[in-house]
Structure 1
Amino acid sequence: MEPPVSSSRGPMGSLLWKLDWLESQHLLRKPVRESFDLLKEDLEGIDTFLLELSDEDDPNLMKQYWMKEVREICYDTEDYIDWLFHSQLKIGSVGVAPRLKISRLPRTLNPRPNIVSQIKELRSRLQDASERHKRYLIVIDDLWDTAVWDFLLRAFPDGTQSSRIITTTRSENVDMTCCGNRSDYILKMEPLNDDDSRKIFFARVFGSENKCPQQFKDASYEIVRKCGGVPLAVIHIAGLLTRQQEKSEEWDYVERSLGSNLSITTTYKGMRKVINLSYNGLPQCLKT
């Protein structure tokens, strides 16, 4: 009995059933039979993904879109196979499949009797959809150590499915390691300019530069300068000083503690100093 259409798998069940029926009836000449066998393998492979996703309670929008795309390809494939019989094309020996109905010929296919070519086109669409299901985009922010990258790299599958891993780092050694010593894969980001650094700093601490009390302006400019346009430093220090708006001595302490310009001496130790300042400024109840 032909399986019914389902909301998650579409016509996949009935499509695989029809391909099994064709194989069992020995209706296909060798070149066509080989094409149908490869098509069936592709469908069975992609069906495993559909079954996995259909078990999820609430697939995200990307997964839902992918499932919809695959179902549409399956509908087109089923319609084409039905059309072959409906139009009485000779696939091999005389015979037609039982209870085959067709509502339309897929618009993406040329209705000429080159069966191998049409099956190849359908397989290409299925394979493209299958490859997209295996692609990933991963962003790893603020990577400092090549040993960490080597550890993470082992978790990713090998392959050429157009997946991408983007890393951000302040270390030239790390960036060359991540891109396999391909310098053309490296995008060097310039530090924030003074104006942008000040906008971020003052917006975080006071809401705007105009709202900064006069007694904190000189210290603020010097602190921003020492952050060297490093966004992480600007944001951390601004977050710390938001809690110290009435204590001018704390502002002086932060200014002295930052040392030289971080754009020149940005190292793990330099950024650790920034983070330690932020941690030390936390209320005691938030420290662990």
Structure 2
Amino acid sequence: MEAAVVTASHGAMGSLIAKLGDLLTAEYKLLKGAKGQILFLKAELESMHVFLKKISDTEQPDEQDKCWAKEVRELSYDIEDSVSEFMLRVEHKSSYKPHGFMGFINRSTKLLTTMNIRHDIAKEFEGLKVRVVEVRERRMRYQQTNDVAPRTTNTTIDLRLLAMYAEASGLVGMDGPTDELIQLMGGEDELMVLSIVGFGGLGKTTLANEIYCKLQGEFQCRAFVSVSQKPNIRKLLRTMLSQVGFVAPMDTNMEIWEETEFISALRKFLLKQRYLIVIDDIWEAFAWDIIRCALPESINGSRVLITTRIETVARGCCAKNIECVYKMKALSDQDSRSLFFKRIFGSEDGCPPYLKETCMLYLGIYPEDYTIEKNDLTRRWIAEDTNCNGEVMSCKVHDMMLDLILHKSQEENFVTVIDDIQDMTGQQDKIHRLSLSLGGTVGDRVAGCVQLSQTRTLAIFGTSSYLPPFQLFKYLRVLGIEITVQSYPPLLLDFTEIHHLFQLRYLKIVAKGHEVVLPSKIGSMQQLETFEINATIKLSKGQSFRELPSDIVHLSRLSHLIIPYDIILPNGIDIPWTQVLKGSWRWIIQLHNLYDLHLFVKQVLEEDVGILAQLPSVINLELFIKGTPEDKIIIHGSGFPVLKHFQFSCSRISCLAFVAGAMPKLEIKLELRFNARGWDRYGAAPTGTEHLSSLREIYVCIGGT
């Protein structure tokens, strides 16, 4: 059976048809007239879905076909929003079942309310049927041919796809260039600058990374940084400082440093070091002119490797050694195609074409040079009924590939990317997914001028603390806010209005140095699957900080809860996670769908481990204990039924033992990190790992200080 997913080329059609089928079941008890209308809609939409599949396989479709396909996609989004709202309203009314006389009154009231809902939905489907008929008749009026043009067989691969071969290209002709450049980098003790030059997507970054990985052990310190078309020199210099191992003195606030202070700190730190620095993707000479000021020309055998598309920049960086400019050669089109699909989907046949396109276009949500974490991307996909599998843990999108993605996203009206909030006023199409990369102060009036009620994803990145009015969004499924600059004093970010987002499935708030005001109750957000926050939390009622809304334990679909270590538990009597006491986290076993859990605690008792062992769905568990456990930590055979990955970290270990039958599904990896000093006083090494019968890999890191 074909997956019921949302895609770029088919819109919400697959998901919609599946939901219409669900509505016909006895659970929803529709009125007779509504059932007939749903059957009609389902039949019509299935025919339209076939058309969308055909046109998505057509390389150069007719303009009229493209126009109708766009109209059908927009129709599918509108109808799916209405259907989802109705289904959730019925489910909500059916979930509460009081008893006694008041129960009778409440059930009678609910019956009248539910009947009203069903009459409303019957009227709604009557209107939707009219819209579908109008779209069909418009197609028939202007149709010149009954069939979409056949798919052409001569396929030309855009060379911009070469940008995605990244590390996989090491399998295609990388050994020769790598060895040649390594040999070129040898010898002299003076600082040497080398450049790799070639047009976008040839593998310059991959080649530089190969060399960096092979040679990094020969240098005392190293850094690998990307410049890009719009360089943030201050951020780049700070990243270099961090990577080479610089630690700022106590009470130093690097947030207020100017570029000159970063340059001075780098020069002083690197002066007596043998360093290896890779400066990736330089576009203009002025960026290199600033960066080179931070690189002392000492006689320690240091090396700087640069990648660029522009030969004059490459030569300018290597003015003293013009022979140190290496020109890249292109791969064949066939190799580029194979590497692209292997890199993204594991093989050329690993993912249906329409899903390949959808998953690729969703990357346009993220800004240039953003490190995209696999888990974060997957959770967003799932929240939008779009899912692609893969083994890559994180990635960055090449700027040429990003240009292609954004062009295609605009053509399909899949993702709308805004860098200047004023640009929103010119938006003509409905916005389904909105990505804002903002800086500075932004006014609320602009957002109010645009229709946002049907937006499904809102992603905000950048330095601005602007939040659009959440009441403008009705059908939002994904909300991600990532503010990259801390505020002194902390700014207040108001999220109290998100409680009405009844379809929200994914919520991520990253705003270090800011105070985030959450609603005191979020129980109405029953669809929420992912909740991640990294900020100071404040509830809308009262002045309590670091406290989650108390009714979060009633979110039955919550699968991913990612919060700071010092958050107060919902019913833990003001017991923070860093001071876990007996019974304080018993509430967590109510999260039956939770399968990824990270805990940072000061203390763990044997009973606490027993509580965690009852979680039926946890696949990945990472347990970090800051102190020395008072109790023995014994993993019995009756718990953790589906756990596949377990990471245990402890500053001082007392006793960790695995009993026969423990963690029967633990197969991917067991990671143990602890300090062995004082075993004679605190305990002994972990025991019983031989009982982990399914385990394929074990990693142990032992300290001694």
Greater Rg, structure 1 or structure 2? 1
Higher strand proportion: 2
Using the size of structure 2 for normalisation, the TM-score is 0.16
Higher share of residues assigned helix: 1
Where relative contact order (Cα < 8 A, 6+ residues apart) is larger, the structure is 1
